Amino acid sequence: MAPYSLSAGSSQWAAKRADSAPAGWFSTRSQAVTAAESDLAYNDDCGLGVKPLAPSSAQAFTGGILLVGLMRRQLAGQYAYVWAIVFLQLVQAAANLLLPTVNAAIIDDGIVAGKPEVISRLGVLMAVIAIVQAASAIAAGYLGAVVAMRTGHRLRAEVFTRIQSLSSQDVALFGTQSLTTRATNDVQQIQAFAVLVFTMLFAGPAMGIGGIVLAVQQDVALSLVVIVIVPLLLLIMYLIVRRLIPLYREGQDLLDRSGGILREQIIGADVIRAFVRQGHEVRRFAETNAGLTANNLQSALLVAGMLPMIMLVVNTSSVAVVWFGGHRIQAGLMNLGALTAFIAYIMQILLAIMMSMYVLMTAPRAAVCAERIQAVLETEPSVPNPAGHSTAPPAQPGAGLPKQPATLAFQGVAFSYPGAEAPVLADITFTAAPGTTTAIVGATGSGKTTLLNLIPRFLEATKGSITLAGHDIRDMPVDQLRAAMAIVPQHSHLFTGTIADNLRMAAPDAADEELWAVLEAAQTMRFMRDLPRGLATPVGQGGASLSGGQRQRLCIARALLRKAPLYLFDDSFSALDYDTDTRLRQALDQALAPATVIIVAERLSAVEDADRILVLDDGRLVAQGTHQELLETSATYREIAESQLALDGTR
């Protein structure tokens, strides 16, 4: 990313964030500071007035190296196609270069000399060469497109796989929208570059170099025009491409930013309308959109201006060739056919330069995209697997993992966010045995969800140990650890598909009878009976077509289908009415009897029957016991109970 200009305080914040970045994220601390500042620049609410600065030539060179390395890795197993493309493009270039020479021979040895048989013989040869040229061009174009599409497919899959392995903290460092753009738009830009490379890159230089050699062969004196125009054309391209690189880098960052704002506005549409902030959001998006438009316009003007400038130079040189060539013909120093061939070679040199120009115009954007993609691919997850275990998503999660109930134990566990002055959790010690329910309660912000997220290693404990069935969870492969538990998150999320598809995320091979059994246990039958398509009912993205309570119950049903030894519920009953809540907890008591159950709850009524209740206050475990014991011994718990009782009394 391009560095940004920020205030001193913001730079200190970025430096602190850089110091806390996961190991291996950046090669130097200065790069980490730059990336942190760049991410901070996306936050409109910071009011920092950030301004992107142009990257150095070294950064542009680095981007080019990364692009080449990225493409080489994706070409593994495709080198036979690549060599075939090179061969076909060289045949295409050779055929193109032969045509003017044959044409010159037809003019000088056939037409001027008055020999029809020479015209016929060379005409047939010219037709054969033209057919070979067309066939090789079509074949090279087809193979080039195949290789480019495969390159894009592999790169897209590699980026997606890496994103899947990142923790919540890793995703937050990049930003959701930035990762989306890198996995889609950035990969698409590299794929478009690959199409040009594998259809033009080899033929262009071959035609250019061959055209210069054959032009000199036709007439040495006239070739001085070529010696002048080629460096001039290359200089024009260099100056324009050099200016395009920072514009493309800034454009990709602005695209991230505008996409992020749009995503926020779509997700938070109800909140925006509720506070009548549509006008503010429209202006906010308009500012970013205007910046993106200005950037695109500036780069488009440079690209649009390149071709007229090149055509001006080439047309001027063509006039010079005709003028000087005419004088040389009059002086008897050159034949008409040679002049015709020379002009054709000038056009071939132009075509070669234009082909190279198209590749070079896309190269800066592709190089910027390669930098951004490589940053994702080089990111090691902040929650690592034990040595010897891959971070790639497993084909069969949890294969071979025992499914018997297991004891969960925290011993002196603490957690701090990188750069934070105070820990979120400190000195947490407790044990949850099989067949018991452990509840976690506390005021908002006391660390309940953070504690729960330490168990599946969505976050990594910074101190102490967490064991499951006597094994430290840091010594267990992440996929096997998570396969040993069923999780109902705080925000009930369903995926696009059917109800059956969403449930089978927990058990892909589950029969319909098993699905209906868990749906009944989760108290969903009241609304499931009203759905004409039953399990085949479509679910919109995020479950938008369902109410909050319906989404929660479907997520609970999905967890029950897992049949795991450990269940984690993060405030998973908050959207349920009292009657449904009561019936659901009774059903869960039966379904989860042998398992270890951890419940985070805001309402004490949801956990008062738990075997043990942990009370958190400002990240510390201040009390634990049963509901009745805590009412007698814990002032914090009693205060929570009294406040909820008073609130219920006012309803």
Return the pLDDT at 387. 58
Return the pLDDT at 408. 94
Q: What is the DSSP letter of 379?
A: P
What values do phi and psi take at 460, rounded to 5? Answer: -105, 125
Return the pLDDT at 364. 79
Of the candidate ranges 313-317, 396-400, 642-646, the one whose mean pLDDT is the lowest: 396-400
Return the pLDDT at 526. 82
CA-CA distance, 128 to 5, in Å (whole number)? 62
Return the pLDDT at 2. 36
The crossing angle, in degrees rounded to 10, of helices 548-562 and 578-591 is 0
Element (H, E) at 34: helix 29-40
The crossing angle, in degrees rounded to 10, of helices 57-74 and 116-165 is 100
Tell me the per-residue pLDDT of 543-557, one tens digit each, with 9 for 90 and over: 777 888 888 889 999
Type of residue at 283: R
Return the pLDDT at 646. 63
Does the predicted model carry a pTM greater than 0.75?
Answer: no
Nearest residue to 617 via CA among 418, 467, 424: 424
CA-CA distance, 335 to 40, in Å (whole number)? 68
- The CATH code belonging to domain 61-246+305-376 is 1.20.1560.10
Return the pLDDT at 63. 62
pLDDT band at 88 (very low <50, low <70, confident <90, very high): very high
Query: What separation in angstroms does the CA of 71 have from each of 143, 153, 194, 378, 643?
Result: 16, 12, 8, 15, 62
Return the pLDDT at 178. 84
Distance of CA 156 to the CA centre of its chain: 8
Q: Report the pLDDT averaged over residues 603-610.
A: 84
Q: Got the DSSP string for 193-237?
A: HHHHIIIIITHHHHHHHHHHHHHHHH-TTTTHHHHHHHHHHHHHH
Of the candidate ranges 32-36, 110-114, 173-177, 630-634, the one whose mean pLDDT is the lowest: 32-36
pLDDT band at 36 (very low <50, low <70, confident <90, very high): very low
- Residue 121 reports pLDDT greater than 60: yes
Return the pLDDT at 389. 54
Q: Report the pLDDT averaged over residues 462-483.
A: 89
Q: Checking DSSP bridges between strand 471-472 and strand 463-468, what pairing results, if any?
A: antiparallel
Return the pLDDT at 34. 38
Q: Checking DSSP bridges between strand 408-415 and strand 463-468, what pairing results, if any?
A: antiparallel
- Residue 343 reports pLDDT greater than 90: no
Determine contact, residues 373/182, Cβ cutoff 8 Å: yes
pLDDT band at 40 (very low <50, low <70, confident <90, very high): very low
* 3-state DSSP of 562-591: HCCCEEEEECCCCCCCHHHHHHHHHHHHHH
What values do phi and psi take at 382, rounded to 5? Answer: -70, -15
CA-CA distance, 628 to 609, in Å (whole number)? 10
Question: Would you kindly state where each structural domain of the chain is located, as residue ranges?
Answer: 1-53, 61-246+305-376, 408-649
Q: What is the mean pLDDT of the chain?
A: 80
Return the pLDDT at 326. 85
Q: Report the pLDDT averaged over residues 26-46.
A: 37
The pair of three-digit structure tokens given for residue 291, joined into one six-digit string = 């910046």
Tabulate helix, strand, coil % of the chain (nearest 5).
65, 10, 25
Q: Report the pLDDT averaged over residues 522-543.
A: 82
Paired residues of 463 in beta bridges: 414
pLDDT band at 61 (very low <50, low <70, confident <90, very high): low
Return the pLDDT at 33. 36
CA-CA distance, 485 to 483, in Å (whole number)? 5
- Residue 48 reports pLDDT greater than 80: no
Q: Report the pLDDT averaged over residues 278-301.
A: 87
- The CATH code belonging to domain 408-649 is 3.40.50.300
Tell me the per-residue pLDDT of 172-226, one tens digit each, with 9 for 90 and over: 788 887 888 889 888 998 898 888 888 887 888 888 888 888 888 888 888 888 7
Determine contact, residues 376/19, Cβ cutoff 8 Å: no
The pair of three-digit structure tokens given for residue 454, joined into one six-digit string = 């330490």
Return the pLDDT at 547. 82
